[in-house]
Amino acid sequence: MKKWINYLPTLFVIMIVLSLFFYSSQGSTRTMNYTQFEKIAEDADFGDSRVSISSNIIHVNGTYSRHDEKISYSVIIPYSESNMEWLNETLTDDGGEITVEDPNQSSIWITLLSNILPLVIIGVFFYIMFAKMGGGGSNKAFEFAKSKARVESNVKTRFKDVAGCEEEKEEVKEIIDYLKNPKKFTDMGAHIPKGILMVGPPGTGKTLLAKAVAGEANVPFFSISGSDFVEMFVGTGASRVRDMFKNAQKSAPCIVFIDEIDAVGRQRGAGMGGGNDEREQTLNQLLVEMDGMTDNIGIVVIAATNRPDVLDPALLRSGRFDRRVTVNLPDVKGRKEILEVHARNKKLSTDVSLENLAKRTPGFSGADLANVLNEGAILAVRKKEKQITMNDLDEAIDRVMMGPAKKSKKYTEKDKMLVSYHEAGHAVIGLKLEDADMVQKVTIIPRGEAGGYNLMTPREEKYFHRKSEFIARITGLLGGRTAEELVFGEVSAGAVNDIEQLTKIAKNMVRVYGMSSLGPIQYADPQGNVFLGRDYTQGSSYSDGVADEIDKEVRAIVDECHTQCRKILTENRDLLDLIAKNLFEHETLTNEEINNLMNYGTLDNPETKTETSETPEETSGPEVPPLPKQGVEQKDLDDALNELTKKKS
């Protein structure tokens, strides 16, 4: 019915066009009176005619020819015997035929339709137009307070489509059992959780997991965002909450999924200005509806958020959200499973190893991994390849982490050498420091805001980190800046991101983890923005004297790491120069090439080379001149740089 209503304006236009065509066709017919017809009949040649005789008049329609022009005519003649005889002679004199029609032959329905139908169409047209412009009045007001939840009756998502969260699946399997067979729970006197709160970083699959629960249980899935409740008018959100739970009761058993619940579930009475009346009324209604739900009624509320710290305590208490499921970032095994799920419809080359790809992507969420495979597929299409290669996926990882390579951006020779030593400094620390992250790739090709970067991954993934590991990470971050100091005698602004990260780690060691002489005391300030549900009356939890001690401890940690970093780079200056020179020449070095440089002094492993008749001079590549060890003489550095440039050209 709604489809036909949408077509009514089009039908209305078509009717107008047809009416105009009909009347235009009638306009070509000449309508005349009896006197005019008598004058024309004197010299006109009449063709076939149609005559309709009633009690008082004779209605004649037909055509006549005059001066080689054929004209349609219509005339009404008074009825009489003499007029009938004259009309018969006149119309048949030139061989024309007369067809007599019954004046009552036309159907009454045709007459009604021709007279009434245009008026009906016009009325319906204007009714629809006014209704679409808001002329519905009270109906629109009632629809405004209706729930905006989207309902899926046949969810196709299953647990096999959700990878990397096996423990989380175990937590929600009881919900599936209950929705399929609630009797065994009621017989045992068990109450199924009314609400499940899924907490975790963005992109970890909270929404997908909730949808998989509905798919496995084969129940309707009500999906709505927390922001869909909140409107400008106070009371609208509360009305939508009531309507949503009312609809859910009609469809029970079912699952109600509220995404980004922090949009409506923030703490009441906190923040600048004391809160928002509309949002707080909506939250109050949600609390009442969940508290008023009868046990085992068949409605399970699943909510998702990545900001559990700002949620109202009344929302998190038992009886509302009874269970919290933390969906963390996947480990290496989970990342491999996620990659296998998203690689189902991808044409991967035989050189692609999803296991190696999983090892190279620590900290990636499920959404990030899906994006890596998608970017790899796009790059393969761009290169007109038939399959996705490992090089495509390697470039895709770089694009997801740092953005596309800015190959058009050109360094000066001095800047290029500085960036080479900066990145080589990071690489040497990663190679020589035991607890530092492993170097996977080093490049001086600019990406995003960075002039170059090191892809470094942990030697093994851990849930708990020791103090030595934090010290090693800070030392690794100082590697680039320290290499600049050692070689060039000055520093650049290229280490700004490194400094930001190491400062954050050092502060957390002192203020959060208790890894300093201040002891196991937490001095961290309350986290959170006052506009996101935090009270602006809270202040610092320590005195000014303690703040001064914290600053000294942070400085001591960074100074200790800086000294250690400088010592390592000084002792391995030959390796630093070798990696920097190869970076200057090749711009990108892989993990295998860096290890070969450390072990053999060349990019290739001489043990795996096939013996050829080529001389060593022909296979060893261009000779790279040595650079000054201390870097204090700018003239020596410039001379070495010029000589290297000549060799390269």
CATH code of the domain covering residue 311: 3.40.50.300
141 within a domain of the structure (yes/no): no
Task: Tell whether 69 and 181 lie within a shared domain.
Answer: no
Task: Tell whether 320 and 345 lie within a shared domain.
Answer: no
CATH number at residue 14: 3.30.720.210
The pLDDT value recorded for residue 505 is: 93
Q: Is the pLDDT of residue 58 over 60?
A: yes
Task: Tell whether 239 and 346 lie within a shared domain.
Answer: no
Structural domains counted in the chain: 5
Residue type, 45: D
Q: Is the pLDDT of residue 64 over 90?
A: no
Residues 255-304 pLDDT 10s? 889 888 888 888 876 655 455 677 788 888 888 888 776 665 778 889 99
Band (pLDDT 50/70/90 cuts) for residue 8 is low
Average pLDDT taken over every residue of the chain: 78
> What is residue 59's three-state secondary structure?
strand
- Cis peptide preceding 625, ω within 30 of 0: no
Q: Is the pLDDT of residue 529 over 60?
A: no
641 within a domain of the structure (yes/no): no
629 within a domain of the structure (yes/no): no
CATH number at residue 392: 1.10.8.60
Nearest to 420 by CA among 637, 203, 181: 637
Of 270-279, 377-386, 502-511, 529-538, where does mean pLDDT reach its minimum?
Answer: 529-538
631 within a domain of the structure (yes/no): no
136 is known to lie in a ligand binding site: no
Residues 213-249 pLDDT 10s? 888 888 888 888 877 777 666 667 788 888 888 888 8
The pLDDT value recorded for residue 623 is: 43
* Average of per-residue pLDDT across 495-523: 89
202 is known to lie in a ligand binding site: yes
Final residue of a domain: which of 343, 369, 402? Answer: 402
* Tokens of residue 174, six digits: 């009881």
Q: Residue written as tokens 């076939």?
A: 48
Rounded to whole angstroms, the Cα distance separating 141 from 146 reads: 9
Mention every residue, 6+ apart, whose C-beta is less than 8 A from residue 575: 428, 431, 432, 597, 598
Task: Tell whether 315 and 278 lie within a shared domain.
Answer: yes
346 is known to lie in a ligand binding site: no
201 is known to lie in a ligand binding site: yes
Band (pLDDT 50/70/90 cuts) for residue 391 is confident
Range of 116's domain? 108-135
Cβ contacts of 627-632, under 8 Å, gap ≥ 24: 627/487, 627/577, 627/581, 629/573, 630/486, 631/486, 631/487, 631/488, 631/489, 632/489
Helices (H) and strands (E) in the chain, counts: 24, 14
Task: Tell whether 488 and 595 lie within a shared domain.
Answer: yes
Task: Tell whether 172 and 257 lie within a shared domain.
Answer: yes
Task: Tell whether 512 and 549 lie within a shared domain.
Answer: yes
271 within a domain of the structure (yes/no): yes
Higher pLDDT residue, 621 or 275? 275
389 is known to lie in a ligand binding site: no
102 is known to lie in a ligand binding site: no
Task: Tell whether 418 and 511 lie within a shared domain.
Answer: yes
232 within a domain of the structure (yes/no): yes
Percent of the chain residues past pLDDT 90, beyond the cut: 13
The pLDDT value recorded for residue 21 is: 56
Q: Is the pLDDT of residue 543 over 70?
A: yes
624 within a domain of the structure (yes/no): no
Cα–Cα distances in angstroms (integers) from residue 31 to residues 36, 38, 213, 427, in the given order: 10, 13, 78, 101
CATH number at residue 549: 1.20.58.760
Task: Tell whether 213 and 169 lie within a shared domain.
Answer: yes
Final residue of a domain: which of 326, 350, 368? Answer: 326
439 within a domain of the structure (yes/no): yes
560: annotated active-site residue: no
The pLDDT value recorded for residue 381 is: 92
Task: Tell whether 173 and 245 lie within a shared domain.
Answer: yes
Of 69-83, 206-220, 323-337, 610-624, where does mean pLDDT reach its minimum?
Answer: 610-624
Which of the following is catalytic: 168, 216, 260, 423?
A: 423
Q: Is the pLDDT of residue 403 over 50?
A: yes
Residues 252-263 pLDDT 10s? 788 889 888 888
Percent of the chain residues past pLDDT 70, beyond the cut: 77
pTM over 0.85: no
Q: What is the DSSP letter of 69?
A: E
> What is residue 151's three-state secondary structure?
strand
* Average of per-residue pLDDT across 366-390: 91
333 is known to lie in a ligand binding site: no
Nearest-10 crossing angle of helices 108-130, 2-27: 130
204 is known to lie in a ligand binding site: yes
Rounded to whole angstroms, the Cα distance separating 52 from 39 reads: 22
Mention every residue, 6+ apart, whose C-beta is less than 8 A from residue 73: 29, 30, 31, 32, 37, 40, 60, 61, 62, 63, 64
Nearest to 158 by CA among 236, 217, 240: 217
520 is known to lie in a ligand binding site: no
The pLDDT value recorded for residue 183 is: 79
Task: Tell whether 513 and 548 lie within a shared domain.
Answer: yes
Q: Is the pLDDT of residue 526 over 80?
A: no
Task: Tell whether 201 and 63 lie within a shared domain.
Answer: no
Rounded to whole angstroms, the Cα distance separating 111 from 109 reads: 5
